[in-house]
Amino acid sequence: MENRKVLKSGEFLVEEIESKDIFIPEEFNEEQRMIAQTCQDFLETEVYPNVDKVDKQDRELMKSMLKKSGELGLMGISVPEEYGGFGQSFVTQMLAAETIGAGYSFSVAFMAHSGIGTLPIMYYGSGEQRLKYVTKLATGEILGAYCLTEPGAGSDANSGKTNAKLSEDGKHYILNGQKMWITNAGFADLQTVFAKIDNDRVLSAFIVESNSPGVVINPDEHKMGIKGSSTAQIFYNDVKVPVENLLGVRGQGFRIALSILHMGRIKLGANVLGAAKKAVNDSVQYANERKQFNVLISSFGTIKHKLAEQVIKIFAAESGNYRVSKDIDDLMVKYKTEGCDQGKAAIDAISHYAVEAAILKVYSSEMLDFIVDEAVQIHGGMGYSAEMAVETAYRDSRINRIFEGTNEINTLLVVDTAMKRAMKGDFDLFGQAEKLYASLDKISDGKTTNEDYYQEKLRYIKNFKKINLLLIRGASKTYEKALIHEQEVLNNIAVIIMEIYIAEASALRVQKLESMRGEAGVSLYKDILDVLVYDSAEKVRKSALDAIYSFAAPAEAAKLVKAIDILSAIAGVNVKDARRRIADKLIEDNSYKY
């Protein structure tokens, strides 16, 4: 592990790091690029020719595609070599997830199997369970599913009613209950099922073989999108589960579920990047072919604006996703050197970055929704036709704001988790907030003479951090323990935190790129950063004012608003010309090559 500064989860709110301390996608090595190319080749040869067929709910075809990907080794990227995988780094796992993300329904089935279908057993299973099951899951010999959600439980996973009781002879748990919205249910050979033993308050987890007597799988649900993904209800009627198939220890299920959700969230952040780049490519290629008024629509300023916005949002989400991926990798290495096995090191490192996982899940899924919506609009009437790929992309995108915990839950988690980490002593959030508040009347924009381009951008972002500190201090003092019930204010703060993380990751990425390529090689990236930070300032200001007017008395509000006006001030940007330059590169390349 190279010597670099690594921040704890949420610590970016009060600490700055240098560009040399972050990882950027331009640093992928040759092996990582080859793995991504293998994933891309698989999509081109096996997935894209079959999208329409699997969307007609052909379970057997989807199953055969998954097994082929397993034979190529794609399912074992995150599984250690001793269990039949390739044991790749977390950054590599994220790159593979991104590439596969362009695979429509296939990507959902693939990610469910190789992520939540495999890794609970890899991370929490005994050596015997790993040898028996993970070795076969890693190669696609058997396919996995993850069974948590129940009717009526929604986002409150621990309220499920599925129950397990020890048999009289002590050899089995007798499982009864119902699960719903289970991805891969129709063809999975193995299920990780969450249930409460006896009258336990918290869940336990079990490994259940799908062909066990009493397991009843319903027909597939009819869904808005991801139609090729098998999603069904599963019923458990006196299913005998061998006691050795208890995953982890009794009562550990809720922790397992939360840990796997952290992993799922962060992997989804990468997954949607692939879908977004595919949609942008479809957008620009159509715009470069379609004529209106005898000219290509790609020459119109309005279309260029749309294309540029797609690029900016992808670049920003990509910067954030790979920034945290390397942090997770380094923390995994640290935990392993301290004696953790690979499974525990991985899940503890991923779980540690819960703040960033929630940020990237929300930001990235909303990024994709925006991009596919604009892709349909760029296609005009043709975009509404089922003949076009963007119609499928539009429908498939919508689930990502619900998957892995709704965006509403994750938005609240951003603030709640950051504040809890600070209270635990991971970083000094409240002390710095109090210090800043004490000098409220003396707040300045922090501008110095002769600051360079990056100093200016990072100063703006540092000021956004100060705005966040003022809001957290003000809202905490006003509401105290009742703050948890003021979801609108928490949402305002969360928006600011997300903008801070993404803008900072993007700024540091461009700065690092310049150190690699020289100033002439980053002019378009500076255009991206200019527009991104300019727009972020307005979002930060609006969210801050909404929060202040919600919690502050008039006199305090006046003082806070004055500070916000100073801290959110930003130099003007010619966004029209910047976006045109960004779009022109996309149009010339006819695909996303940023």
Which residues belong to the active site? 404
- β-strand pairing of 204-209 with 246-247: antiparallel
Element (H, E) at 532: helix 523-551
Tokens of 349: 């490192």
3-state secondary structure of 191: strand
Residues whose CB falls within 8 Å of the CB of residue 553, separated by 6 or more in sequence, listed in order: none
Q: Tally Cβ neighbours within 10 Å of residue 338.
A: 8
Nearest 5°: phi and psi at 285?
Answer: -65, -35
Cα separation, 332 vs 457, whole angstroms: 31
Inter-residue contact 443 to 567 (CB < 8 Å)? yes
Helix, strand, coil shares, percent, the chain, to 5: 65, 10, 25
Cα separation, 467 vs 564, whole angstroms: 6
**Alpha-helix runs per DSSP H in 404-452:** 407-423, 429-438
DSSP annotation string for 312-324: HHHHHHHHHHHHH
- Classify residue 581 by burial, with Cβ atoms within 10 Å: 0-12, 13-18, 19+: middle
Three-state secondary structure readout of 121-167: HHHHCCHHHHHHHHHHHCCCCCCEEEECCCCCCCCCHHHCCCEEEEC
Terminal-residue alpha carbon distance, the chain: 28
Tokens of 593: 């090559």
Cα separation, 379 vs 114, whole angstroms: 34
Cα separation, 170 vs 100, whole angstroms: 44
Inter-residue contact 105 to 96 (CB < 8 Å)? no
In this structure, the chain runs to a length of 594
3-state secondary structure of 114: helix
Task: Look up residue 576 and give its DSSP letter.
Answer: H
Nearest 5°: phi and psi at 544?
Answer: -65, -45
Nearest 5°: phi and psi at 237?
Answer: -115, 95
3-state secondary structure of 236: strand
Q: Is 294 left (phi over 0), alpha (psi -120 to 50) or beta?
A: left
DSSP annotation string for 204-227: EEEEEETTSTTEEEPPPPP-SS-T
